[in-house]
Structure 1
Amino acid sequence: MKLENMLTKSIEKFSKEAFELNYSLANNPELSSEEFESSKKIVELLNKHGIKAERIFFGFETAFFGKVIENKNSNVNLAILTEYDALPDVGHGCGHSASAAISVLSALALKDNEHLINANIDIIGTPDEEVKGIKTPMADGGVFDKYDAVIMVHLSNTSMPNTRFLALQAYEIEFTGKPSHAAASPWDGRSALDGLMLSIHGFDMIRKNLRPSTQVEGIILDGGVATNIIPEKAKGKYRFRSNSSKYLDGELIPWVRDIVEGCARATQTKSEIKLLDYPYRDMNYLESGTDIIKSVMEDYNIKYEISKAATGSSDIGSVSYRCPAFHPMIAITDEDVALHTRKFAELVKSEKSEQAIYNGSILIDGFIARLLENPDELKKIKAEFNS
């Protein structure tokens, strides 16, 4: 426990700077893929304390990569992931400003004790979790393949040692018809809106046949320009989620494509369905590593809950199939305040965020310390991942 005790002291040492980082990011929110000042501020703080970090990583301008500890004599490779994008209108209603502060504080404490650590530890800035999901192309490109484990902490209204996520794919669905006067010569027209609406009804009608934990959600982006013109163009955006990437890829999305194509034939229109952003995979949930995080929570009196149900989606799911990945949640409040709301964003700006940032850093560094002080635990994680 020597390393863990020292890390705890270092977390206290650097906590004020981490709190200030959160407040700065929370009061100056930047949208997905626009986190230029946020990533700059994080990198500057890391460099200030001797962590060699550089902006622009893997071709993404707002990503970054930092070497917290470099030990060429060690074959243990760990990484801390960092999110810092905000939401339109509500700012940091998902708490990514505090999540970034947690990752940075954890890294600073580790750097402060590098003489005690026989491992290679990196910190990676992974922007645009809310829209495109930049961790997915990073994962597909092999960024995480060398790591024995990666971890980050997210805020919530309930603490959890790990999170189950739904796989997600988002699509733009567009129909093209033939315009005509809706009253004088409707027979000359073919309504693109009819094709889109029929597809939406099709999505609703298959719900009863979908597997549990499958979700369908969407909006109409374009439904025409005037009531007396048969719409030539209609467009919608739909997201499809499942707790199984295999089911999403192999069954649901092919069915969705059949519906769209069938509705185009039925309305004598043309259809196009195209994938938006990067797909998110479900979470490869590893019990062995989750148990270690539980033990940290218990030893530091952090109350937690365990959920068997997948909740929401995140691009860390894509990472979890390339290396062991962990995504605990830390409560910022015991009230039922929903994420992605202005009320949650206000909590992130408040002093309540400070205890959450401290607790989150305890989780990350406690997890890392226990892996390093008990090598058999890391072997268990790798064995479960490879099973």
Structure 2
Amino acid sequence: MCADNAISHDQGVPASSRTALEDPGQISIAGAAVKAAARAVVDRATPELVALSHRLHAHPELGFEEERACGWLGDMLTAHGFTVTTGVCDLPTAFVAERGSGPLVIGICAEYDALPGIGHACGHNVIASAAVTAALALGEVADELGVTVRVLGTPAEENGGGKVLMLERGAFAGVHAAMMVHPAPSERLDPFCLARAQLSIRYEGRAAHASACPEDGLNAADALTVAQVALGLLRQHMTPDQRVHGIITTGGQVPNVIPELTEAAYYVRAATLPALHELEARVRECFEAGAVATRTRLTIGSDSPTYSHFRHDSQLLAAYERNALALGRSFPPVGPADDRQAGSTDMANVSLAVPSIQPLVSIGSGTAGLHQAEFAAYAARPEADRALLEGGLAMAWTAVDMALDVAARGRLLAL
């Protein structure tokens, strides 16, 4: 457990920030000066930040195995004045880093796990480096703003729900706003995220000689075949924002032995948690049908917590948009087809507990999309380097706006 990491801060604000907060006419002047100071930090650290991204990209690590990534981020944050605690929440590759001691706690989320076989095809090297960018920029002005910067190193986003575990175990306690950016083929403020359940399927039957005495066997592979047919028929009743997809991980060893064990991994997705629970119940019935038809034994488990739908905080998004535009980013029009290109994230669970955003930053990958080897190649190119620097600085500037705006600061502190 890591509930002890929750920090209680004095509600006092430094005199320099208090002056701006008390005089609206001074806010824009103070904000411009603080943002310039934050940008200067990023400019000085640019070679270091880009090198971090490329190092992560060249050494991909799977979820809960990100030992080097966790260490590299921790070392860099320590060198820039952060107090870093690793192995938090009983997760060896999770960490919490803090700088500043103000009452407004800004959470910056870093994720750094990769995908098997295709490395950083989701660009988590960009996410982690953008988080460090935001942290360094904001950490330098934290005391002036009356904020605490808390970087949360969150493992296993792809398959394991590191943020969900850290949320449940107290790492986000006391955080007033949480942010991260995610690389993508195109820029977007509020990407549509589906709630997701992960199912591990196991059918156990009885082996037999497939030619001499097949009648003595109970075919576990046939059980999964029946379930897949049932799932195919279920799709005609699914809404456009629902998904069911999976892979067979164990399906027999040789053709002349009736398979006694079949295993599969499946994802179920829907627009909201209630819709997900309803769909998941029907999907489970499809797997149960396979067991009934073949008289095999079915076990359904899960290797990951359920991911929720995402609740984007409109005020944080508006501030991020202004700052991203000021840095030269642009947001193309969003059409109905864009919501069809939906994934899932454990950051969504954080968004239901803490005001959160997760904008997409373009890395110029064109038609190469997430979870493709081609996208992984783009994640270490100059456009991705620019995205992590500008995305990180836009997050830092957004935090500056929240700290200096009387109403925005009060809203976050009151939540």
| 1:277-316 correspondence runs (5 A) | 277-305=304-332, 307=334, 309=339, 311-316=342-347
Q: Determine if the alignment matches structure 1 residue 318 to structure 2 residue 356.
A: no
Q: Which 10-residue stretch deviates more, 342-351 or 98-107? A: 342-351
Residue from 364, 376, 388 that aligns with 1:333: 364
Q: Which 10-residue stretch deviates more, 252-261 or 207-216? A: 252-261
CA deviations 1:25-78 (Å, max 9, x no partner) are: 11222222111111111111111111111221111111111112222xx2x221
Could you tell me how far apart the structure 1 residues matched to 2:128 and 2:274 are?
31
Name the SS for the 1:150 alignment partner.
Answer: strand
1:77 aligns with 105
TM-fit CA distance, 1:11:
1.8
1:374 aligns with 405
| 1:104-123 correspondence runs (5 A) | 104-123=132-151
TM-fit CA distance, 1:98:
1.9
Contact 2:365 2:375 in 1 (8 A): no
TM-fit CA distance, 1:263:
2.4
Could you tell me how far apart the structure 1 residues matched to 2:166 and 2:230 are?
35
CA RMSD of aligned residues (A): 2.0
Could you tell me how far apart the structure 1 residues matched to 2:74 and 2:186 are?
30
Change (3 A) 1:280 1:182: same
Q: Structure 1: which amino acid aligns with 2:270?
A: S
Could you tell me how far apart the structure 1 residues matched to 2:183 and 2:171 are?
25
Q: Structure 1: which amino acid aligns with 2:279?
A: L
| 1:211-226 correspondence runs (5 A) | 211-226=239-254
Contact 2:324 2:330 in 1 (8 A): yes
Residue from 73, 88, 91 that aligns with 1:60: 91
Change (3 A) 1:268 1:8: same
Contact 2:362 2:384 in 1 (8 A): no
Runs (5+) with no aligned partner, structure 1: none
Residue from 61, 66, 75 that aligns with 1:30: 61
Residue from 264, 268, 284 that aligns with 1:236: 264
2:16 aligns with none
Residue from 97, 101, 108 that aligns with 2:125: 97
Name the SS for the 1:58 alignment partner.
Answer: helix
Name the SS for the 2:229 alignment partner.
Answer: helix
Change (3 A) 1:65 1:96: same
Q: Determine if the alignment matches structure 1 residue 185 to structure 2 residue 213.
A: yes
Could you tell me how far apart the structure 2 residues matched to 1:291 and 1:334 are?
25
Change (3 A) 1:223 1:321: same
CA deviations 1:136-156 (Å, max 9, x no partner) are: 111222322422110011111
TM-fit CA distance, 1:349:
2.3
Runs (5+) with no aligned partner, structure 2: 1-30
Could you tell me how far apart the structure 2 residues matched to 1:260 and 1:226 are?
24
Could you tell me how far apart the structure 1 residues matched to 2:101 and 2:412 are?
22
Q: Which 10-residue stretch deviates more, 305-314 or 200-209? A: 305-314
Name the SS for the 2:398 alignment partner.
Answer: helix
1:265 aligns with 292
1:3 aligns with 34
Name the SS for the 2:96 alignment partner.
Answer: strand
Which is richer in strand? 1
Q: Which 10-residue stretch deviates more, 2-11 or 48-57? A: 2-11
Report sequence identity in percent. Answer: 26
Name the SS for the 2:304 alignment partner.
Answer: strand
Runs of 4+ in 1 over 4 A off after TM superposition: 378-383
Q: Structure 2: which amino acid aligns with 1:148?
A: H
Q: Which 10-residue stretch deviates more, 269-278 or 302-311? A: 302-311
Residue from 153, 159, 167 that aligns with 1:125: 153
Could you tell me how far apart the structure 2 residues matched to 1:156 and 1:375 are?
34
TM-fit CA distance, 1:330:
1.0
Q: Structure 1: which amino acid aligns with 2:49?
A: A
1:343 aligns with 374
Q: Which 10-residue stretch deviates more, 230-239 or 306-315? A: 306-315
Q: Structure 1: which amino acid aligns with 2:394?
A: L
Q: Which 10-residue stretch deviates more, 32-41 or 334-343? A: 334-343
Q: Structure 2: which amino acid aligns with 1:31?
A: L
TM-fit CA distance, 1:360:
0.9
Change (3 A) 1:115 1:265: closer
Change (3 A) 1:180 1:30: closer
Contact 1:99 1:357 in 2 (8 A): yes
Q: Which 10-residue stretch deviates more, 173-182 or 147-156? A: 173-182
Q: Structure 2: which amino acid aligns with 1:200?
A: Q
Could you tell me how far apart the structure 2 residues matched to 1:26 and 1:185 are?
53
Contact 2:365 2:378 in 1 (8 A): no
Q: Structure 1: which amino acid aligns with 2:230?
A: G
TM-fit CA distance, 1:162:
2.9
TM-fit CA distance, 1:378:
4.5
Could you tell me how far apart the structure 1 residues matched to 2:264 and 2:413 are?
42
Q: Determine if the alignment matches structure 1 residue 198 to structure 2 residue 226.
A: yes
1:20 aligns with 51
Residue from 178, 182, 185 that aligns with 1:157: 185
Q: Determine if the alignment matches structure 1 residue 276 to structure 2 residue 307.
A: no
